[in-house]
Amino acid sequence: MVPEFLRQGSKRAVIDLGADFRFRRVEIYEEWYKVTHAAPSLLVEAVYGLPELYREEIKTARIVGNPGCYPTASLLGMAPLLKAGVVKEGPVIVDAKSGVSGAGRSPKADLQYAEMDANFRAYGLVRHRHTPEIEEEAGRVAGREVRVVFTPHLVPVSRGLFATIHLPAARALSDAELFHIYRDFYAGEPFVVPLPEPFLPQTKGVLFTNRCQLAARFDPRTGQIIVLSALDNLVKGAAGQAVQNMNILYGFDETLGLTAPGIWP
């Protein structure tokens, strides 16, 4: 459908909430999604729709590949550290949990209330489709290959996403220095909220909003940086981010329609 949309006029742009235009290399998309790409020639002009990283490119894009919810939480959490060069080579571990709405709207037996209530489980081990999306964009920020071990989980809530990210530190860092890295990287960003000590992200703080809460701590015993990232998988993780991209594309105030306060201060 996208090529036809684009043929209808030069002022028309497409924001795709699917995965077809999130990748720069068609072979990665086809390997992980097990389908043949219907419009591979358009990948070269598609922009990855994470405004905090690619705002200027989004402004003039004809195609925006809206990121997945897990990659949004993971990349917003990882990007400042990768850009600052404080992460050494080695696998990055993303341990993430999503509300049931993150599994889509198709009726499935294992997503019924009786199965999900009071239950907690992992899924998509080793080959989850969001893995290469996170790796590709993390690698672009870092300027080198970044390997990610990504394990998603379903939790018995309707919405909300929480990612705990473990990164091997290149050197010792104080928690204050980590906060300053995030504060400086996201200075002026309307929807990313780095939290100072002693505060930590929680899903209740972002539900029904387009915000992402972040916090980072250094573990001197293991040499790991632990990053916590929380967002609403249906807003900043999906439709809200699409509206944010639309606002950027058409020159509207970026926060237009996205300033709902949520349910928690």
Residues noted as catalytic: 69
Three-state secondary-structure class, residue 161: strand
Is the distance from CB of 265 to CB of 193 less than 8 angstroms? no
DSSP summary character for residue 66: P
DSSP calls for 82-136: HHHT-B-SS-EEEEEEE-GGGG-SS--GGGSHHHHTT--EE-STTT-THHHHHHH
Sequence length of the chain is: 265
Half-sphere exposure of 264 (CA within 13 A, CB side): 12
How far, in Å, CA of 165 to CA of 87, rounded?
Answer: 12
